[in-house]
Amino acid sequence: MERHIPGFPRIGVRRELKAALEARWRGELSPEGLAAAGRELRLRHWDIQRRAGLSLVAVGDFSFYDHVLDTALMLGAVPRRFADADPGAGPELAFRMARGDAARGVAAMEMTKWFDTNYHYIVPELEPGQRLGLASRALADDVRLALEHGHRPKAVLLGPVTFLALAKGVDGQDPWGRLDEVLDAYAALLGELDGLCPWIQVDEPVLCTDLSAQARAAFPRAYAALNGAVADSGLLLATYFGALGARGLELALASGCRGLHVDLVRGAQGLPALLDGLPGGMTLSAGVVDGRGIWRTDLRRAVGLLEDMARRIGPDRLMVASSCSLLHVPVDLEAETALDPEVRGWMAFATQKCAELGALGDLLEGRDRAGDLAASDQAVASRRQSPLTRDPQVRRRCAEVDEAMLRRARPYAERSVAQGWLDLPALPTTTIGSFPQTAEIRRQRRLLREGAVTGADYEAFLKEEIARVVRIQEELGLDVLVHGEAERNDMVEYFGQQLAGFRFTGNGWVQSYGSRCVKPPVICGDVSRPGPMTVSWITYAQSLTERPMKGMLTGPVTILCWSFVRDDLPRAEVCRQLALAVRDEVRDLEAAGVRIIQIDEAAFREGMPLAEAERGEYLRWAVECFRLATSGVDDATQIHSHMCYSSFNDILPAIAAMDADVISIESSRSGMELLQAFREFDYPNAVGPGIYDIHSPRVPPREEMVGLLRAALALIPASRLWVNPDCGLKTRAWPETVESLRNMVAAAQEVRAELEGRG
Ligand code: GLN
Ligand code: ZN
């Protein structure tokens, strides 16, 4: 029985790829040195797969920056602004495309989230007149490299339909208009690979989303062309991140591919329809090991599931696999020496997941892996019985949540009157929470970690920092101040560290984009809040000023989305526990005299399931959790929220249902395109559409922001409009921050004066 993974993490167990990339970008490593580092990682990762007992190793899953960008390069889709460079130039050109070319003033390509993961890909740009065609032979070379090292390779590539669905057309180019050229390039590529490897995996995760009409129309043509280009190798059509919907399933089954890979972790509900329709000649790759989570597989359960499938379709038509590429999990649990052994025993990273697949394959072939089964059983039992996973008090509180806890006492219109005591001017100015995280702040944090400064020293340093940002904000004339978040390394980890039910890995890095990695906290048990988390910082900040100080918390949905979440409890339930913990903090802040409290839900949009049919349910519990976290306060206390996703026009009704008194949202980058949504949907509460882009060091002139505010006023009444940047300022430097905010306050004053003149 074939055992394989759709992909392995690229970054390396010690983030070797990050080190090599950054050395290259600083000019300290040659292109040849970087190539060698990449090659070493690929060889090492193939070895891991083979040693784990996989029958195929994934080749082509590696990338120096991003695999979608590599696909664009392979097809010759290089935007004109980079085109003086040779498309065959490999990673150096990819870096210019991904990071921009500052020396020549060329802007980077856009980056966005890869489906519902926290991995970001570079959005391919298709322009009229761009000549597309197979421009790189790197994949076939890599397959040969794997063969030379005695591996049985499976080539992995991004499929043409997903590529075109993710690409954007510029200058009027419709991406789908380039289908034929793209297919010719794929056919040329497949021609090179044919016969070199038994399987060629073609990734089409777009099949698990609600397909556009163009994608649906393109699919049969695409797969007729692709299948026509191979004679010896079999195409394995890979889908993941959800179940195939009715349309996706129909297309996949009729694709003519020799194999179909499905995600049976996130898409288990699709299995019956799939088994009913699977054509006789098609092999099924069953993704039973979770490629997105860090938990061990219940091997006994998985064997049962696989045996059922084998009985149905015959064992020779079954492959066993992880649900998706292991790109989304850390490399090796062996590196976690400091982790609490109980929780560590429940976990599996990429290397361990490969071993699970090896064991599953053996078990299905009737080989003796009793030891592995027993170890898996023991992990399952240990977890089930652990007091960590079940806190009766938390369970009771969750069960007792009632309707009244999900609602403020009065509707927004009345609350806004009750909040009049805050005595804010029209168009109040504020920021999103963080101020620049300077080198000095990071240094002090490091010194504390290393024991070089005492906790008291560190606290004194932070207090000084808070006093400084309060003074600066007063001088700038901002209306609602913040404490600046200097004490936070990260908006999720900071809270996780103060909550029960969390653990932290030492080395659990996952690629976010390019060389950037994140280390998500692990929610392994029932969550509760042993004590106040932010109250002392915020009340200290409030004590320094007469102006209102905004308390700053991360919301339950965002904590959930940016953590590795336990899989033995529904996500909605974990989120409810988080919501109760945040609710306690909100109430403590209020009791301490903090009467404006912002609960950030930066990840609210990205938590949405890919399939339309599942979104309603997600939005229902996500909104409910936000309301649970925020509704425990008096109507005269003002609740803010912040979201930084630019396209949430489609969920504006859900955002309204969150019923925050004030929301701030990202919008300046898209030239306030977002405001369009407010034309279509009458948002009832107050809103601060970000009027300057904090993602760039550029200082927006006052007149520009005046223009944006006037545009916003055409759609949002002055009584409900706030003035703020579009996100936190932690990545900015101080000089541009102060200048930008000065212009922003001046813009608000100018528009306020216009309003008074009119009124
Ligand atoms: N309050 C956070 C900050 O200002 C919000 C960050 C975010 O939205 N990603 O940094
Ligand atoms: Zn933001």
3-class SS letters over 102-113? HHHCECCCCEEE
Give the span between the Cα atoms of 156 and 159, in whole angstroms.
9
Is there a contact between 564 and 497 (Cβ–Cβ < 8 Å)?
Answer: no
Residue partners of 489: CB distance under 8 A and separation at least 6: 445
Out of 351-360, 376-385, 696-705, pick the least confident.
Answer: 696-705
* Among 324, 265, 347, residue whose Cα is nearest residue 7: 324
Residue range 583-593: mean pLDDT, rounded: 98
What percentage of the chain reaches a pLDDT higher than 70? Answer: 98
Tens of pLDDT, residue by residue over 386-418, are 999 999 999 999 999 999 999 999 999 999 999
3-class SS letters over 188-246? HHHHHHCCCCCEEEEECHHHHCCCCHHHHHHHHHHHHHHHHCCCCCEEEEECCCCCCCH
Continuous segment of H or E residues that includes residue 640: strand 638-643
Q: Does residue 88 carry a pLDDT above 90?
A: no
pLDDT at residue 84, as a whole number: 73
- Taking all residues of the chain, what is their mean pLDDT, rounded to a whole number? 95
Centre of ligand 2 to C-alpha 490, Å, is 13
Q: Does residue 710 carry a pLDDT above 90?
A: yes
The protein residue with its alpha carbon nearest to ligand 1, atom 4, reads 728
Please report which ligand is nearest the Cα atom of 485.
Answer: 1
Q: Torsion-angle region of residue 501: left (phi > 0), alpha (psi -120 to 50) or beta?
A: left
pLDDT at residue 669, as a whole number: 55
Is there a contact between 674 and 644 (Cβ–Cβ < 8 Å)?
Answer: no
The structure tokens listed for 144 are: 């040969």
Residues with CB under 6 A from ligand 1: 432-434, 485, 491, 552, 600, 602, 642, 644, 727-728, 730
Please report which ligand is nearest the Cα atom of 668.
Answer: 2
The protein residue with its alpha carbon nearest to ligand 1, atom 3, reads 728
Out of 84-93, 152-161, 434-443, 556-565, pick the least confident.
Answer: 84-93
Ligand 1 atom closest to residue 431's alpha carbon, by position in its atom list: 4
φ and ψ of 442, to 5 deg: -65, -35
Q: Which of 469, 473, 488, 491 to mutate to test the pocket of ligand 1 (most atoms within 8 A of CB)?
A: 491
Tens of pLDDT, residue by residue over 175-202, are 999 999 999 999 999 999 999 999 999 9
The protein residue with its alpha carbon nearest to ligand 1, atom 7, reads 602
* Among 517, 487, 514, 513, residue whose Cα is nearest residue 505: 517
Q: Where are the domains of the chain?
A: 3-386
Tens of pLDDT, residue by residue over 124-156, are 999 999 999 999 999 999 999 999 999 999 999
Tens of pLDDT, residue by residue over 230-257, are 999 999 999 999 999 999 999 999 999 9
* Among 209, 5, 248, 252, residue whose Cα is nearest residue 116: 209
Out of 102-111, 235-244, 263-272, 708-717, pick the least confident.
Answer: 102-111
Surface-to-core class of residue 564, CB atoms within 10 Å of its CB (0-12 exposed, 13-18 middle, 19+ buried)? buried
SS3 of 680, please? Answer: helix
Which single residue is written with the structure tokens 């059509």? 237
Centre of ligand 2 to C-alpha 454, Å, is 32
Q: How far is CA 191 from CA 184, 185, 329, 736, in A?
A: 10, 10, 33, 53
Torsion angle in degrees (nearest 10) through CA of 313, 319, 323, 326:
180
Q: How far is CA 387 from CA 374, 392, 500, 524, in A?
A: 22, 9, 12, 11
**Would you place residue 105 in the very low, low, confident or very high pLDDT band (cuts 50, 70, 90)?**
confident
Q: Does residue 269 carry a pLDDT above 80?
A: yes
Ligand 1 atom closest to residue 642's alpha carbon, by position in its atom list: 8
Give the span between the Cα atoms of 696 and 674, in whole angstroms.
19
Tens of pLDDT, residue by residue over 618-659, are 999 999 999 999 999 999 999 999 998 656 778 899 999 999
Centre of ligand 2 to C-alpha 432, Å, is 7
pLDDT at residue 758, as a whole number: 80
Q: Does residue 521 carry a pLDDT above 90?
A: yes
Continuous segment of H or E residues that includes residue 758: helix 734-758
The protein residue with its alpha carbon nearest to ligand 1, atom 5, reads 728
Ligand 1 atom closest to residue 727's alpha carbon, by position in its atom list: 8
Centre of ligand 1 to C-alpha 600, Å, is 7
CATH number of 3-386: 3.20.20.210
Give the span between the Cα atoms of 411 and 659, in whole angstroms.
9
Give the span between the Cα atoms of 234 and 508, in whole angstroms.
35
Is there a contact between 295 and 348 (Cβ–Cβ < 8 Å)?
Answer: yes
pLDDT at residue 666, as a whole number: 80
**Would you place residue 229 in the very low, low, confident or very high pLDDT band (cuts 50, 70, 90)?**
very high
CB half-sphere exposure, 443, CA atoms < 13 A: 4
Q: Does residue 91 carry a pLDDT above 70?
A: yes
Tens of pLDDT, residue by residue over 657-705, are 999 999 998 865 555 666 778 888 999 999 999 998 887 888 999 999 9
Surface-to-core class of residue 449, CB atoms within 10 Å of its CB (0-12 exposed, 13-18 middle, 19+ buried)? exposed
Give the span between the Cα atoms of 78 and 63, in whole angstroms.
17
Is there a contact between 199 and 57 (Cβ–Cβ < 8 Å)?
Answer: no
Annotation says 695 is catalytic = yes
Tens of pLDDT, residue by residue over 294-310, are 999 999 999 999 999 99
pLDDT at residue 650, as a whole number: 81
Give the span between the Cα atoms of 560 and 522, in whole angstroms.
10
Give the span between the Cα atoms of 615 and 193, in whole angstroms.
39
The structure tokens listed for 354 are: 């490969």
